[in-house]
A and B are shown apart, each in its own frame.
Chain A
Amino acid sequence: MKNLVILGAGTSGTMMSNHLVSKLPKKDWKITIIDQYKTHYYQPGFLFLPFDIYTTKQVKKNGKKFIPKDVNYIQEKIELIEPEENKVNLANGSTLEYDILIIATGAKIAPDEIEGMNGPEWYKSIFDFYTYEGAKALRNKLRTWEGGKLVVHITEMPIKCPVAPLEFAFLADSYFKNKGMRDKVDITYVTPLGGAFTKPKATKALHYLLEEKNIKEVTDFNIERVDYENNKIIDYADVEIEYDLLVTVPTNMGDALIERSGMGDDLNFVPTHKATLQTKAYENIFAIGDATNLPASKAGSVAHFEAEILTENILRFIKGEPLKEEFDGHANCFVETGNGKALLIDFNYTHEPVEGTFPIPGVGPLKLLKESRTNHMGKMAFRWIYWNMLIKGIHIPFVSATMNEKGKKFDKITN
């Protein structure tokens, strides 16, 4: 009997357990998945929680019910990976041996990385919305906030779902309009990048959104510290921005387990081959989702497409066949723009988001890079798809793991 061990039961790990249980012969392979937490969060929902669009109940479920019964599910903290020994040590003192290991331990916020961020004002006037706790605390704050300077801020790249802070700014504009207090709120979007939009087509097609919603943009801002006593964020060029309410996306890092095991880069992400998902250091260890250092977006849709290709590659690895170099960085994301509308973007390592139709070329019904109510309904419907299809490894019709170039308006391949 051989052992395949999956570390982490989030979006990627849960999907992999579902894919593999039907593909690996039960008489030969035992599949184990380990996660210390019992709750599975619908992370895209954290964007909506602060604005009372989703309830807390809609974004969390008991993770166990999504793990197939033929998979050995262990709820325990993982202490260490010993890749040279093919062993994983758990916090309860037990050890698991593996023939194949899949690292799906994700990424998390690290507000301690910036001086003054995780201090006395954390969850008082400084919030994140990338955690359940942060999104919920922010919801409670917004319910009674009387207005002032709202600063939506990205600390440094890479972050999970790079469009989420922009969506947050758009939804904040709608939220305060609906509350009849938009005139009391000044919204500023602060980014370390060269713009809120950084790709040429998206900038051209979408920059109007910032102007239309009166959202100010501060670019090239590399934060050095938060001066929480004087309500200011300060960057390395000594530029200061005042806030009354700071909604920040702190540094995102891979799990501390990766650092403890000596398997990560500066940010604890696992160096991984970008087309095969095999780790660079060990051929029997694979990584998926936010845990990797892939130059793709850290997003559920990327994990979803990766899972289909990784499943195929694990089967090939077992048979001793060459791995498929197929993952192209494909991501497909709805972007909320407020007022019941959304955009849809579809892109990969080499193609920037462009206009076109999705998922059926030339037909749609969804339109790429254009605001519409249908796209918003797509985003809302996606929560059902996530819980009922995506993490269970059920294929979503018409949506392929690699990007389809048909039905899209490319000038030429650039990035």
Chain B
Amino acid sequence: MKKFIANTEIDVNDEGYLTDFTQWNKDIGNELAKEQEIEMTDKHWEVIDYIHDKYKKEEPLSIRGIKKSGVINIKEFYALFPAGPLKKATLIAGIPKPKSCI
């Protein structure tokens, strides 16, 4: 479905995740974060950069990965993106949430 955000039209799925990463930009990320009641800081963006890097390399995201990322520890990750941090951080980053096969 279409969604109008940060003066741009984007395609999202039922849960609000972008379906086409090429449509993503930082302004859109900022607005998506606001909808999750998150005010983005430099630390938040560092995490988003890390997530984008993993996405581009097609490496799965996990809490273990965050722990070893050198960007942030897990408690901080939860503090920045409360309740389901991977789910929220991927939504803001414009990529699919971590999934299983079914």
Contact = CB atoms under 8 A, between A and B. Distances in A.
Interface in B45-102: 58-60, 62-65, 68, 74-75, 78, 82-84, 86-87, 96-102
B14 interface: yes
A362 interface: no
A205 to B, nearest CB: 10
Given A156-B62, A236-B63, A267-B64, A199 B83 contact: no
Instruction: Give the 6 A-B residue pairs with the shortest CB-CB distance, closest first.
Output: A220-B84, A198-B99, A162-B100, A202-B102, A222-B63, A297-B101
Interface stretch (A136-144, A189-197, A370-378, A389-397): A189-197
A266 B65 contact: yes
A347 B98 contact: no
Nearest to B84: A220
Contacts of A192: 62-63, 98
Contacts of A251: 64
Contacts of B19: 414
Contacts of A335: 102
A353 B102 contact: yes
A200 B14 contact: yes
A353 B14 contact: no
A367 interface: no
A274 interface: yes
A357 interface: no
A206 interface: yes
Contact of A347 (B75, B97, B101): B101
Contact of A194 (B14, B62, B74, B87): B87
Chain B interface bracket (under 10, 10 to 19, 20 to 34, 35 or more)? 20 to 34
A335 B102 CA distance: 10
Contacts of A331: 101
Contacts of A157: 60, 62, 98, 100
A251 B64 CA distance: 10
A293 interface: yes
Contacts of B84: 194, 219-220
B8 interface: no
Contacts of B58: 274, 295
Contacts of A194: 84, 87, 97-98
Interface residues of A, number: 37
B63 A237 contact: no
A158 interface: yes
A172 B45 CA distance: 44
A265 interface: yes
Nearest to B77: A236
B13 interface: yes
Given A266-B64, A414-B19, A415-B96, A220 B74 contact: no
A169 to B, nearest CB: 13
B92 to A, nearest CB: 15
Contact of A265 (B59, B63, B98): B59
A206 B101 CA distance: 13
B64 A156 contact: yes
A414 B13 contact: yes
A345 interface: yes
A162 B101 contact: yes
B68 A266 contact: yes
Contacts of A222: 63, 74, 86
B58 to A, nearest CB: 6
Contacts of B86: 220, 222
B87 A220 contact: yes
Nearest to B63: A222
Contacts of A297: 101
B83 to A, nearest CB: 7
A163 interface: yes
Given A163-B100, A192-B63, A220-B87, 8 more contacts: A156-B62, A156-B64, A158-B60, A162-B100, A166-B102, A198-B98, A202-B102, A295-B60
Interface in B2-58: 13-14, 19, 58
Contacts of B83: 220, 237
Interface in A112-163: 156-158, 162-163
